[in-house]
Amino acid sequence: MELRQLRYFVTVVDEGGFTRAAERLHLAQPGLSAQIRQLERELGQPLLDRTGRRVRPTEVGEAVLPFARAALAAVDGVRQTVQEFTGLLRGRVAVGLVPGTLTHAFDLAGMLAAFHAAHPQVEVTLTEDTSDRMLAALRAGELDLAVIGVAQEEPPPGVGLLIVVDEPLVVAAVPEHPLPAGHEGATAVPVSALCGHRLISLPRGTGVRTVLDRLCAEAGFRPDIAFEAATPGALARLAANGLGVAVLPRPRTAPGLHTLRIDDPRARGRVALAWRTDGPMGPAARQLLGCLRSAMAR
């Protein structure tokens, strides 16, 4: 039994399938499946039920899962303890980012540059993904820190949050579009005004999309998403070309677009620094977290 096989098993369970687990682990799916089957052969029992649309642990897999998580946490603890005795801060920190983070006004790139100058022996890796996937990666110990979009201020279980951006959501369209034309002189529109219009939105798994879907459901309709893009800037460009109504955090500038605030106090675009609170964190990650929290809280 190899430690990596336990990590693969835990990741497949957390992701609910081999395809997403392989993406998360940066492995080919056949290789991942082969490693899990090798683990099952060694243990003499199937650990995963592959018969449904979502892969789930078998009864034996459920029993094994907490021991697998404990083993991975113990190894992380060994690495952490050894690193604490090295004197010079070393190690590797895995950071997840929502797309567009490095261009934001809070200057994460500058913060990382300052940290690297102070601790050149620490390797920092950056990956971009949706907020939901990065939260799962944090809980699984695959990411140390993440900058994510969140749908509310309260942190999920086992995760700490520092809100660094909190802006009202707006709708943006060309002035001749029926939505702004029908609300001439207004500064805000109710969520119900979006019904019947083709919308341009961030993809599922992002904080803004979660807020949009929730508010539309409460208003009694499903949003008609015509286009999805990964960054607010891309949404604005699509809207500026007359392709629909973009839903995005209030832009600093919106050339060629008429913007209206969504009239609901819960319609907010929030970005937060996130970290795991119920598991070990290495010295390098702990130091970077402290630096980012201090800089972002100013």
Domains defined along the chain, listed by start? 3-84 (1.10.10.10), 88-298 (3.40.190.290)
Taking each helix axis from N to C end, the angle separating 108-118 and 283-296, rounded to the nearest 10 degrees, works out to 140
Query: Which tens digit of pLDDT belongs to each residue from 163-201?
Result: 998 999 999 999 999 998 888 888 999 999 999 999 999
Residue 162 backbone phi and psi in degrees, to 5? -125, 110
165 touches 255 (CB < 8 A): no
182 touches 171 (CB < 8 A): no
- pLDDT at position 266, please? 94
Report the residue count for the chain: 298
**Tokens standing for residue 170:** 């707006």
**Which stretch of DSSP H or E encloses residue 123?**
strand 122-128
- pLDDT at position 77, please? 72
Residue 201 backbone phi and psi in degrees, to 5? -140, 160
Name the pTM for this structure: 0.68
- pLDDT at position 100, please? 84
For the chain, residues with pLDDT lower than 50 are none
Q: What sign does the CA torsion over 174, 180, 184, 186 have?
A: negative
